[in-house]
Amino acid sequence: MQLHNYFRSSASFRVRIALELKGLAYDYLPVHLPRGEHKQEKYAAVSASQLVPTLALDDGQLLSQSMAIIEYLDETHPNPPLLPRDPIGRARVRSLAQLIACEIHPLNNLRVLKYLVRDLKVEEEDKNTWYRHWVRTGLEMFERELQQLPAGKYSFGDTPTLADCCLVPQIFNGQRFDVDFSGLPRTMGAFENCMQHPAFQKAQPSACPDNEA
């Protein structure tokens, strides 16, 4: 398999975590977002949406959208599972994952932040305030959801799930913008436990070949 991705892209990071948790080998193909490589003809031939990540399967088929890719991996390589076996458990984990992927991430991804500055002429610090507000607000919702669930080592239970694949990249990006993570004990506890896991360590941006940090 080949993963077209960018090291700081939280959506790409999610898929790297899933691949590492599954123990699946893949070729890392960098697509540099700030340089606009995702909009160039070469990548447009890979991704009609011109978004990362894209997973190229061994038979040449292309999959896009991180959540769909991860669920595909979970269905085709079921161990270790990233979704619980029972319907209620799966719904709980999907709910947590979508709270990040659908409620937080769309408001603070790169193209939105660029639009705020380039087109709406928002000042840099105001843009950063926007980012911190929506990430913090979303994580507060995430924390309230966790508080309603039985305590566990990770976001849901004692093994990593799809929810953790989404949580860790969001925290990583939030750290870059100095988001306030205080008062989120269950959320940050799950994050810290994830970062003790080898799969999360191997998938993090600093371990990527195109890391420029």
CB 70 within 8 A of CB 162: yes
Tokens 């398999």, located at residue:
1
Q: 37 and 59 share a domain?
A: yes
Q: What's residue 109's pLDDT?
A: 87
Q: 21 and 55 share a domain?
A: yes
Q: How far apart are CA 109 and CA 148, in angstroms?
A: 28
| 3-class DSSP string for 1-33 | CEEEECCCCHHHHHHHHHHHHHCCCCEEEECCC
* Average pLDDT per 10 consecutive residues for the chain, totaling 213 residues: 96 98 97 91 93 96 97 97 97 98 92 92 94 97 98 97 98 96 98 98 94 67
Q: How far apart are CA 204 and CA 32, in angstroms?
A: 16
Q: Which residues contact 65 (CB under 8 A, 6 or more apart)?
A: 11, 51
Number of structural domains the chain divides into: 2
Q: What's residue 213's pLDDT?
A: 45
Question: Is residue 115 within a helix (H) or strand (E), and if so which, with residue range?
Answer: helix 110-118
What CATH number did the domain enclosing 121 receive?
A: 1.20.1050.10
Q: Does some domain include residue 60?
A: yes
What CATH number did the domain enclosing 35 receive?
A: 3.40.30.10
Q: Does some domain include residue 142?
A: yes
Buried b (16+ CB within 10 A) or exposed e, 66-85: bbebbbebbeebeeebbbbe
Q: Which residues contact 76 (CB under 8 A, 6 or more apart)?
A: none
Q: Does some domain include residue 162?
A: yes
Q: 91 and 167 share a domain?
A: yes
Q: 68 and 122 share a domain?
A: no
Q: How far apart are CA 213 and CA 210, in angstroms?
A: 9
Q: Which domain holds residue 167?
A: 87-199
Q: 20 and 107 share a domain?
A: no
Q: 33 and 132 share a domain?
A: no
Q: Does some domain include residue 213?
A: no
Q: What's residue 140's pLDDT?
A: 98
Q: Does some domain include residue 14?
A: yes
Q: Does some domain include residue 47?
A: yes
Q: 106 and 156 share a domain?
A: yes
Q: Does some domain include residue 204?
A: no
